[in-house]
Amino acid sequence: MKKLIIIHSLTDISKKIPLIKEEGIGEWIPFVSEYGTVKRIEEKLIGTASRKDISTELQGTASEVRRDFFEKTAELGKKYNSLAWWAHSISERNTMASKLFLRCCYMVMAEKILSSGQDLCMVCDSNSVIDNIEKLALRHGYEVTKKKSRKFYIWGDTVSWRICAGIYSFIKGLFLVYPLTKINRFVHAKSAKEKRREIKETDIIIHTWADKKSLGEDGKFNDRYFTVLPEFYKDKGYKVATLVDLFLLNRKPVAYWKALTFLRKNSGQFIIAEDYYSVWDYFWPLRLGLKKNGFRFDNVTIGGVDCSSLFTDQNKLERVPFTAMYYRLFERLAAWGFSPRLVIDGFENMVSDKMIQLGVREFMPGTSLYGFYHMAPPPNILCFYTDIRERGIAPLPDKIICNGDRFKEILVKEHFPEEKLVSGAALRYLYLHKMNKASLPAKDGVFKILLTLPLQREAAIEIFNKTVEAVKNNERYHLLVKPHPLGAPLIMAELGKELPGNAKWLEGSMADAINKCDIVVSAATSAAVDCLMANKEVIRVGRETQLDFDPLAWFKEFGAPVYSVEQLKDRLLYMEKKIKSDSYEIPDHSSMLPELFAPETEENMEVFLPEKMKG
């Protein structure tokens, strides 16, 4: 009889080694999302079983079933159309935060692998996936031996985590963020009162996010999403107020206090959401979250595989994010007398966007809504897209402004209403038009490799380890490692001891970093776009057991990523020979720049203007 051994990644794998050897299973399949965990298990199973490479199959499966996932969740949206549904993670489809789609892909892959009829060993990071694969295996005639995790608390994966995370967010919001905001307003009572009186007369509200770099030492607020837009509006005679999301700064009380003080003292007009919330507003997401108990997920098949229980388990873990309070914020702003002509949002089609749209529609019916689609969107970040079945029910802005014509074409194919889509200035990427383009590298000497690390910790560790393994002990290579600016101190502290002798950390601007290298190795993320537009050769490194978030996957002209250390070694060797050859010519990727990221022209800026006066 066919045998399947299936083990949770958090259990003691070594206890199953005798069984794996007894069954003569020489390969194990990693349905585990975290690279560090995969490597730990791989080390334990050395000499027993080798790890199966699922990287290409995983990305292919995601491409095959993503539209099916959209269709099924859109049908659920038609069934449960409500505030509670649009605040739900299943309707949001945020694959950066939720593993639901990834686990559906694991299930589809498992179904194909089980059809082979071989004895198998699978390692999973989810009890729910283990139970579902067991059902598939039994239908295929397998004898199943499984070992689930008995841990009471698993981050992101148990009800105990949901309860603890919900309590933490509630306490932080009500007993830290809320009182600090009120105290800070009291300290700056005079300026806060004057601004609050003036700000009600605003014509345009811009919703954006702030980090440390937003708070300029010169007292200027640096908006890296909307950049020149506030000044453009002011030059046209509009009164502008910026609704600033301080999520990235409210994790530490001192940083949050400094941010509040900066905004209150600044000459610009800023809306601080917590100034308008009441104590009872912090209970609203909890009450909204209770409505999830009415949602049922029966007969939800993805790629022909029943994934109903994965959806049900996701619903059990659901907690409504406090960004859902944006709906209440616009109710409060309307009650205070706000009646802007336009609200423009950094549009990502997430819960926060949908709550803003629903709030404005409900409480400011005469206000127009624009969404600035500021990303270079990867196919696998599903929240960035929609489905035709959601037309008329899913919250969307009146106008969606894209970075350029190529991205507009993508959004049309991805079911956004074409009449809502326009191309405008790529405000977030205007610097690309000013960036120095690559020059011919030296034909001799060391080969300088720039490694750009993404913000996400696991993705950064994965590409760092692979690249270091590919270049260490090679005197021809010199590695320049540039961490993401928001995560630089932490990742440098964690990985510093693993930096080889032929490598060093590199901080500063991306433009400076690009000028110092011969080639770029980048995670399959938007950082690769910057380098390509500077006419640099780029090797993209994909994830082996996770979804790639690769915006260049839409463009076949840029080729495919590599996944393994050996593939990276081979690609580096090939590119080194190519670049150092006498016949080498610098690629002209930047010729695509205008159609990808439209420049700042009067015509491209005018699409951001309100189209008509209110009623």
Can you tell me the distance from the alpha carbon of 142 to that of 256, in angstroms, rounded to the nearest whole number? 56
Can you tell me the distance from the alpha carbon of 295 to that of 300, in angstroms, rounded to the nearest whole number? 13
Q: What confidence score (pLDDT) does residue 171 get?
A: 93
Please say whether the beta carbons of 471 and 572 come within 8 A: yes
Looking at residues 484-498, what average pLDDT do you find? Answer: 85
Token digits for 27? 């390969």
Cβ neighbours for 588, distance < 8 A, ≥ 6 positions apart? 535
Percentage of residues of the chain with pLDDT beyond 70: 99
Three-state DSSP class for residue 222: coil
The separation between CA 571 and the C-alpha centre of its own chain, rounded to angstroms, equals 27
Looking at residues 135-155, what average pLDDT do you find? Answer: 92
Which pLDDT tens digit goes with each residue over 2-45? 999 999 999 999 999 999 999 999 999 999 999 999 999 999 99
Ranges 173-182, 359-368, 483-492: which has the least confidence: 483-492
Whether pLDDT at 525 is above 80: no
Whether pLDDT at 239 is above 80: yes
Looking at residues 532-550, what average pLDDT do you find? Answer: 93
Q: What confidence score (pLDDT) does residue 32 get?
A: 97
Can you tell me the distance from the alpha carbon of 241 to that of 270, in angstroms, rounded to the nearest whole number? 5
Token digits for 28? 């194990």
Please say whether the beta carbons of 357 and 327 come within 8 A: no
Looking at residues 444-472, what average pLDDT do you find? Answer: 91
Which pLDDT tens digit goes with each residue over 499-524? 998 999 998 888 888 888 999 999 86
Quick one: pLDDT band at residue 450, thresholds 50, 70, 90? very high
Segments in 81-126 forming alpha helices (H): 83-86, 89-92, 100-114
Token digits for 253? 């009380």
Looking at residues 142-160, what average pLDDT do you find? Answer: 88
Tell me, yes or no, if the pTM score tops 0.85: yes
Can you tell me the distance from the alpha carbon of 204 to that of 117, in angstroms, rounded to the nearest whole number? 62
Which pLDDT tens digit goes with each residue over 252-268? 899 999 999 999 988 88
Instruction: State the Rg of the chain over Cα.
Output: 26
Residue type present at position 187? V
Can you tell me the distance from the alpha carbon of 477 to that of 494, in angstroms, rounded to the nearest whole number? 23
Q: What confidence score (pLDDT) does residue 439 get?
A: 78
Q: Which has the closest alpha carbon to 31: 139, 116, 136, 104?
A: 104
Q: What confidence score (pLDDT) does residue 615 get?
A: 34
- Backbone phi, psi, residue 115, to 5°: -65, -15
Q: What confidence score (pLDDT) does residue 614 get?
A: 35
Percentage of residues of the chain with pLDDT beyond 90: 77
Q: Which has the closest alpha carbon to 242: 217, 220, 257?
A: 220
Whether pLDDT at 84 is above 60: yes
Domains and CATH numbers, the chain: 3-55+92-147 (3.40.1010), 447-595 (3.40.50.2000)
